[in-house]
Amino acid sequence: MKLITRREFLKDGTLGLAGCTLASGIFGSKAIAANQDGDLHFIHVTDTHLDLGKPKTITWIQMLVDKINKEFSSVDFVLFGGDNFNNNVPGNSDAQKFKHIVDGLKCPWYSVRGNKESTPKPKDDSLNQNDYAQMFFSSDLKVSGRDWKLESGKYTILGLDTTIEQHNNGIYTPETLDFVEKELKNNPDRYYILLNHHTYWNFWEGTDKSNIHKYVLNNIDEVKKRLFGYRNLKLTLSGHKHLNHIGQSGTVKIISTLGFVVPQDSENDHRFRYVEIKDDVVTQKVVSII
């Protein structure tokens, strides 16, 4: 069977997506409803690293979907924080497999890219940001360049693409900075949550500069200077480092969720984070798929 490139797959209309609709109807009846009780309940999963060469990674994501459907069916949505699949095979089979599995969720789900999605192997078989958007951005998202916005009641979630093509490190582009700041400035009464892949500080207190450069947003000082003074910015969600951490910077709670895929030799330690926001107070817990 001939392998097709990602671009050929998208071009042939298999997905039936086009233009600004960006996957219109992709969730059907699962599209997010307006939040009625003022609370928000969601799941953050990051670094699932689906790999067609490692069948266990597929099984683990199937177990994740089953776990959420059985025990967290009332959540408003699931957020996937990047490195969702390893993007290391010709064609789109890895992206399709990930989408097929998580489409089994009974609630809406949304995702951003990580460095794996932006650094394909083979190198010339790129699933670029526009291709990713056509496959994974649903019609209830308001898209701005590489980024998106989702509103639920008084809450606004901004999905931000902090990747740099063909690199592991990340950055807020000028366009992303402008997008987020405009939102914060123009909507002071809304509660903002930022979802992106790269971390907001060296919370593991590493000393290797190349390691810090890889994991921490490279323009983090500018990000904090421009954005963290807005009191309606309440929460950031990231991954990439595969470590668990919760911190605070002024009024902003900064959460880094451990990588779902690690440790790869374990059957019992693949985890995600359940988050609840009630009366503007964030509570959370880490949950194992077993």
107 DSSP β-pair partners: none
H or E stretch covering 209: helix 209-215
The structure tokens listed for 101 are: 């599995």
H or E stretch covering 129: helix 129-136
DSSP string, 218-241: TTHHHHHHHHTT-TTEEEEEE-SS
Q: What's the chain's Rg over C-alpha atoms?
A: 18
Name the nearest CA neighbour of 123 among 169, 170, 165.
165
Name the nearest CA neighbour of 127 among 160, 169, 85.
85
Q: How far apart are CA 78 and CA 163, in angstroms?
A: 21
Name the nearest CA neighbour of 120 among 163, 161, 162, 81.
163
The structure tokens listed for 212 are: 């810090």
Domain membership of residue 57 (yes or no) is yes
Per-residue pLDDT of the chain (290 residues; tens, 9 = 90+): 333 344 343 333 333 333 333 333 334 336 555 455 689 999 999 999 999 999 999 999 999 999 999 999 999 999 999 999 999 988 889 999 999 999 999 999 999 999 999 988 877 766 777 889 999 999 999 999 999 999 999 999 999 999 999 999 999 999 999 999 999 999 999 999 999 999 999 999 999 999 999 999 999 999 999 999 999 999 999 999 999 999 999 999 999 999 998 655 555 568 999 999 999 999 999 999 98
Q: pTM (2 decimals)?
A: 0.88
Q: What is the pLDDT of residue 11?
A: 37
User: What's the CATH code of the domain at 75?
Assistant: 3.60.21.10
Q: What is the pLDDT of residue 118?
A: 92
Distance between terminal CA atoms of the chain? 37
Domain membership of residue 250 (yes or no) is yes
Q: What is the pLDDT of residue 9?
A: 36
**Phi and psi (nearest 5°) for 275?**
-125, 135
Q: What is the pLDDT of residue 3?
A: 39
Q: Write the CA distances from 196 to 23, 81, 255, integer angstroms.
A: 21, 6, 11
Domain membership of residue 267 (yes or no) is yes
Looking at the chain, the number of H-run helices and the number of E-run strands are 8, 12
Domain membership of residue 2 (yes or no) is no
Q: What is the pLDDT of residue 203?
A: 97
Cis ω for the linkage preceding 122 (within 30 of 0) = yes
Q: What is the pLDDT of residue 19?
A: 31
Domain membership of residue 12 (yes or no) is no
Domain membership of residue 178 (yes or no) is yes
Give Cα 260 distance to the centre of its chain.
13
Domain membership of residue 198 (yes or no) is yes
Domain membership of residue 4 (yes or no) is no
Q: What is the pLDDT of residue 265?
A: 52
The 10 Å CB-count burial string (b at 16+, else e) for 185-197 is eeeeeebbbbbbb
Q: How far apart are CA 85 and CA 87, in angstroms?
A: 6
Structural domain boundaries, residue 160: 24-288
Domain count, the chain: 1
